[in-house]
Amino acid sequence: MNSTVKTIIFWVFIFACLVVLWRVFQTSTGGGKDQEIAWSEFLQDAQQGQVNDVTVIGSEVRGHLHNDKGSFHVTVPANYPHLFDVLDQNKVKVTVKNADGNGWWNLLIQFSPVIVLVALWFFMIRQMQSGGNKAMSFGKSRARLLSMQQKKITFKDVAGVDEAKEELKEIIEFLREAQKFQKLGGRIPKGVLLVGPPGTGKTLLARAVAGEANVPFFSISGSDFVEMFVGVGASRVRDLFEQGKKNAPCIIFIDEIDAVGRHRGAGLGGGHDEREQTLNQLLVEMDGFESNDGVILVAATNRPDVLDPALLRPGRFDRRVVVGRPDVRGREEVLRVHAKKVPLSDDVDLRVMARGTPGFSGADLANMVNEAALNAARMNRKSVAMVDFETAKDKVLMGAERKSMLLTDEEKRVTAYHEAGHALVAAMRDHADPLHKVTIIPRGMALGVTMQLPEDDKHTVTKQYLETQLAILMGGRIAEEIFLHQMTTGAGNDIERASDLARKMVCEYGMSGMGPLTFGKKEEQIFLGREISQHRDFSEETARQIDGEVRGLVDEAYRSAYDILNNNQDIMHRLAIALLERETIDANDIRAIIDGKELPPIKPSGGSGSAVADVQQVLKPEPSRGTSFPEGSPSPA
């Protein structure tokens, strides 16, 4: 039944109900001028010759007076013998009707309340089922057929993931000319898994495939299979493949497949839960149709590690396409794609921006361009300038500024020394990423941020690099101790991160006297999505040794950072004062202070030029500075 038919039926029904109601109303009140009169009155009227005509229905008499003086109805006393005599004598026109001559109407009227109730109930059920929750079509898949009218996304809109694009182009060719590939006995792949961190353009790529392929493209999300009732997911999978086979050759895209594809037989739910049935059905269906059926499954996930191995075996998702974070060239291309939509001023150099944003994903870059455009609009500029990009980059990197947050002078002083401590260690130690900016303007959850940016994309790091990170983390607390003779809760997060890092160096990376061994197995809780328990597979004695090694690493970092700050007290004071005056200082300013030079006069915010000094993230914003402790916190707990 299509929806127009449904609407028509609905209105016919409503109309019928109205008619019935009207009839009921009419009969009960007699309608219009028709009034009920007393029997004696009727007799009198009749005898005086005022009655023109009557209709006798059973014991009821309806009639009209002469000269249109009105109509009436009256009930005749049982077996009144002279009714017809009276009427006859006064020459009244008499019609006699069978009492149930109007049977159908009477029946309808009698049952009208029931009919109305049934109709109401019917429509209520209707209502409840709509909204994609129809009881009758529970097991139907929710796959949407992407219509070709939508704004088409093509491979041109996806930048910096050339390998992935190549692989997918091949898939599209398979669908277009299956015979060519099968001639030599090749088997068309059944499934392609797009794997990569969030925001790298997996969903975008799939939409581009839909735009490029001239075949139907069904899109569904992994969570669409998950329902409260056992078996629903499985039947949806069945239906999805049915749909696919009907439309072959076609592409079915399952986004976030980890929602259904998680490792079976693990977790809290026992062995037979809904998700497993759904997954089993998916596995069965993928084997169930031959690849030359021309249905190709494309799935995307950022958690390939939790996927069931059976999904990944050859013959199922046998092609894995890694969609990684873009490199420098890729970032420039992504910026170019998104910058096409905004007017750029002449000073904007996207290559510089690309170099200054290692580790950014496509989504980060898109977000940055958008923030820059918003910033330019806020400044009433006609086009987006480099300053706007710098501001946007800092916002994406360090969180939005919260200038309205009121800090006492004392808090500002503590924050300034704390951040100066991080910054000075970072500036003095080898193996550290270059500093980007240091700020004591609260950003996001942090009271202050020291930001480093690696010069290039980092794929692995060295032991020296990690030791330097430990020292930089220690710098904040040490500055508080040396220059303010106190400790604040602001360093809590630094310390936590340092402890985590040191423990990982010992237990996971084998970077300590314990040798190249890992200690402790993490238990992945499938349903909670992350490790909740650490499994100890070593003795008490080893545990003590590990603690000793961890402590050694942290102590060493502490000593090294202490020496740096203690030997450069002068520089520290000047850094802190500069921070208090300017709130934000950049790499050049820090260099100048360390070299004992005068800082350039305070320039209006925006920091054009300086941030171009290719920096990338050093310390992530320090969420703990001021989250939930009285001292550093915006709202004392």
Q: Which residues are catalytic?
A: 419
Minimum gap (Å) between residue 415 Cβ and Zn ion? 9
Q: Which does 494 bind (CB under 5 to 8 A by kind): ligand ADP, Mg ion, Zn ion, none?
A: Zn ion
Cis status, amide bond into 249, omega within 30 of 0: yes
Return the one option of Mg ion, Zn ion, ligand ADP, none that residue 161 interacts with (CB less than 5 to 8 A, by type).
Answer: ligand ADP
CA torsion angle for 283, 284, 289, 295 (degrees, to 10)? -30
DSSP per-residue letters across 465-521: HHHHHHHHHHHHHHHIIIIIS---GGGHHHHHHHHHHHHHHHHTS--STT-S----E
CB atoms within 10 A of CB 124: 10
Contact of 46 with 92, CB cutoff 8 Å: yes
Of 156-164, 190-198, 202-210, 473-481: span binding Zn ion (CB under 5 A): 473-481
- The one among 203, 243, 291, 610 contacting Mg ion by CB under 5 A: 203
Q: How far is the CB of 418 from Zn ion (least distance, A)?
A: 5
Residue carrying the six token digits 């328990």:
533
Confirm if 453 and 618 have CB atoms less than 8 A apart: yes
Q: In this chain, which stretch among 195-203, 397-405, 463-471, 562-570 interacts with Mg ion, using CB under 5 A?
A: 195-203
Cβ atoms of residues 182 and 351 within 8 Å: no
Residues that bind ligand ADP (CB under 6 A): 158-161, 196, 198-204, 300, 334, 337, 362-363, 366
Cα 179 to Cα 184, 187, 213, 290, 621, distances in angstroms: 9, 10, 17, 14, 55
Q: How far is the CB of 475 from Zn ion (least distance, A)?
A: 8
Residue 454 near which of Zn ion, Mg ion, ligand ADP, none (CB within 5-8 Å, type-dependent): none
* 476 forms part of the interface with Zn ion (CB under 5 A): yes
Q: How far is CA 64 from its chain centroid?
A: 74
Residue 449 interacts with which of Zn ion, Mg ion, ligand ADP, none, CB < 5 to 8 Å by class: none
Choose, by CB under 5 A, the member of 494, 549, 583, 586 that binds Zn ion: 494
Give the Cα-Cα-Cα angle 412, 416, 419 (nearest 5 degrees). Answer: 135
Contacting range for Zn ion; rule: CB under 5 A; set: 28-36, 351-359, 370-378, 619-627:
619-627
Q: Which stretch binds Zn ion (CB under 5 A): 94-102, 157-165, 481-489, 616-624?
A: 616-624
Which residues 6+ apart lie within 8 Å of 350 measured at CB?
332, 335, 336, 339
Residue type, 201: G
Cβ distance to ligand ADP smaller for residue 281 or 361: 361
Q: Residue 616 Cβ, how far from Zn ion at the closest point, in Å? A: 18
- Look at the block and give the residue holding tokens 């170019």: 336
Residue nearest to Zn ion (CB): 476
Q: Residue 198 touches which of ligand ADP, Zn ion, Mg ion, none (CB < 5 to 8 A by kind)?
A: ligand ADP
Strand partners, 71: 64
CB of 373 to ligand ADP, least distance (A): 13
Cα torsion through 14, 16, 19, 23, rounded to 10? -120
> Closest distance between ligand ADP and the C-beta of residue 260, in Å?
17
Binding-site size for Mg ion (CB under 5 A) equals 1
Closest CB 619 distance from Zn ion, rounded Å: 7
Report the distance separating Cα 4 and Cα 203, nearest Å. Answer: 34
State the binding partner of 476 from Mg ion, ligand ADP, Zn ion, none, CB within 5 to 8 A by kind.
Zn ion
Kindly give the residue spans of alpha helices, DSSP state H, lying in 289-327.
309-312
Question: What is the C-alpha separation between 484 and 413, in angstroms, rounded?
Answer: 9
Q: Is 300 or 447 the residue whose CB approaches ligand ADP more closely?
A: 300
Residues that bind Mg ion (CB under 5 A): 203
Residues that bind Zn ion (CB under 5 A): 476, 494, 622
